[in-house]
Structure 1
Amino acid sequence: MTNAAVVRVSGATKTFGPLRVLDRVDLELHSGEVVVLIGPSGSGKSTFCRCVNGLERLDAGTVEISGDRLSESGPGLAAVRRRVGFIFQQFNLFPHLSVLDNVTLAPRLVNRVPRADAEDAARGLLVRVGLADKAGARPGQLSGGQQQRVAIARALAMEPDVLLFDEPTSALDPQTTYEVVDVMEELATAGTTMLVVTHEMGFARRAADRVAFMDGGRIVEVAPPAEFFAAPTSERARTFLSHVLPH
């Protein structure tokens, strides 16, 4: 892991009406690093992820991707967002397109990659996520876990600087959750820069370089997983872990 900050968030603040969802959050994510963001429901994790990608605008604070500030609008926003791959909870695939077309659409339209080159790259990515035989299928013919793996391949096709995962297994059953987590762990091993919002504590233990615990719109503590799970420093983190870890 190098010292280069791929994502630098400073003073991120976001309100929805009277509710302050993010309260002056600071976080850096370095090249090749996996940071897993955990915390109780409603603590601001998904909102934070969406602000890093520009899907939500901050009320205060800044987000930088590979040294370039995420602006509020215009071509600068689009250019920076292209460096960020986003994997949603609900897959968000185009149901009328084949798997191959879902993966190649953005490289062809946004990056002007020739179709043949985009398809070659996409087939390689489908091999990587274990779906080489599904290139011609439509999303409706796939399980939820397979759809989420297509979504990961689609994000990778844009060759992003960082991948953001917003609870990617929350809509999946245990077996398909395992399939998706397995792909995510392979990406982590390969040095992919990742920010992962998840309730999968096993993934956090095995794959994270750092675990960031969020509660009440703030990052309460950040530590390597062995340290965090063995001896969290905050009472809020201890209470959270007591509810989510087996006894």
Structure 2
Amino acid sequence: MPENTSTQHADSDIVVELRAVDKHFGPLHALRNINLRVNRGEVVVVLGPSGSGKSTMCRTINRLETIDSGEILVDGAPQPAEGKELFKFRTEVGMVFQSFNLFANRTILDNVTLAPRKILGQSKTDAERRARELLDMVGIGSKAGSYPAQLSGGQSQRAAIARALAMEPKVILFDEPTSALDPESTQDVLTTMRQLAERGTTMVVVTHEMSFARSCADRIIFMADGAIIESADPETFFSAPSSERARSFLSSVH
């Protein structure tokens, strides 16, 4: 039937979907009935006050946090519970953390090539060629032979982005990637993220960087008290937020 074909086509464009997701930490209701779709090539920026559930939601997408109820799908497939399937699932969902999480005893090149070689089965030659391309792309090609301790925070974060890209994930999650950086390093990392957005990378970005949200987001998700309060394009959200909670938040950050 024509409507079924149309539905299948529309669903194929959805990379991440959260359906009625709830999460508790003891008595704290961290996520409340979260419903969200992220389309292929879309940049979704998640804003909200501290403690609103932004990072928790981000971490549930690749199952770093389990959920109490609801469902999360990536490219139409539900999250596996455990084992090899979950391991494979996580290779398809890139993650960039606040604290970089690089292996201190390995060079930057080794950090970027390790997972493609061990998990994807790439040859050393192919993995290193791709890694050097990615390190050049994020602006730290000259640091391939350095160790994490020899890099600035911004360089380390860009290395972490290259590492995530090396797995060719379906979506990359950014959990406040600039929160530990000085202003100059922050701008370097945001420039890299803007370049990814321009290349059509599917991204979910938890951040406090309003300039990035304004210029790069296709959609703003505003959260408070574990719930999604608003979902709007940047122009609408920043110029005419529909909720008092969002208006109060924007007043405080400005």
Pick one of 214, 235, 238 that aligns with 1:229: 238
Which residue of structure 1 lines up, in the alignment, with residue 223 of structure 2?
214
Would the aligned equivalents of 1:2 and 1:32 in 2 still touch at CA under 8 Å? Answer: no
Asked if 1:66 corresponds to 2:78, the answer is no
Deviation, structure 1 residue 2: 9.5
Which residue of structure 2 lines up, in the alignment, with residue 84 of structure 1?
93
Pick one of 124, 127, 151 that aligns with 1:115: 124
Deviations 1:56-113 (A, max 9, x none): 1000011100011012212221222211000000000000000000000000011110
Which residue of structure 2 lines up, in the alignment, with residue 157 of structure 1?
166
Deviation, structure 1 residue 188: 0.3
Deviation, structure 1 residue 27: 0.5
Asked if 1:193 corresponds to 2:238, the answer is no
Question: Distance between the aligned counterparts of 1:210 and 1:174, measured in 2?
Answer: 25
Query: Structure 1 length as normaliser, TM-score?
Result: 0.98
Question: Distance between the aligned counterparts of 1:123 and 1:232, measured in 2?
Answer: 43
Which residue of structure 2 lines up, in the alignment, with residue 43 of structure 1?
52
Quick check: which one's helix share is greater?
2
Which residue of structure 1 lines up, in the alignment, with residue 153 of structure 2?
144
Deviations 1:115-169 (A, max 9, x none): 1100000000001000010000000000000000000000000000000000000
Deviations 1:199-230 (A, max 9, x none): 00000000000000000000001000001000
Would the aligned equivalents of 1:155 and 1:163 in 2 still touch at CA under 8 Å? Answer: yes
Question: Distance between the aligned counterparts of 2:182 and 2:12, measured in 1?
Answer: 37
CA 1:213–1:195: 2 relative to 1, 3 Å: same
Question: Distance between the aligned counterparts of 1:78 and 1:11, measured in 2?
Answer: 24
Pick one of 172, 176, 179 that aligns with 1:167: 176
Question: Distance between the aligned counterparts of 2:12 and 2:110, measured in 1?
Answer: 36
Displaced runs of 4 or more, over 6 A: none
Asked if 1:106 corresponds to 2:106, the answer is no
Pick one of 22, 29, 33 that aligns with 1:13: 22
CA 1:63–1:240: 2 relative to 1, 3 Å: same
Sequence identity (%):
55
Would the aligned equivalents of 1:68 and 1:80 in 2 still touch at CA under 8 Å? Answer: no
Query: Structure 2 length as normaliser, TM-score?
Result: 0.95
Q: Secondary structure at the match of 1:136?
A: coil
Would the aligned equivalents of 2:11 and 2:76 in 1 still touch at CA under 8 Å? Answer: no
Question: Distance between the aligned counterparts of 2:12 and 2:248, measured in 1?
Answer: 33
Task: In structure 2, give the amino acid aligned to 1:177.
Answer: T
Question: Distance between the aligned counterparts of 2:91 and 2:144, measured in 1?
Answer: 24
Question: Distance between the aligned counterparts of 2:108 and 2:253, measured in 1?
Answer: 35
Would the aligned equivalents of 2:134 and 2:165 in 1 still touch at CA under 8 Å? Answer: yes
Q: Secondary structure at the match of 2:110?
A: helix
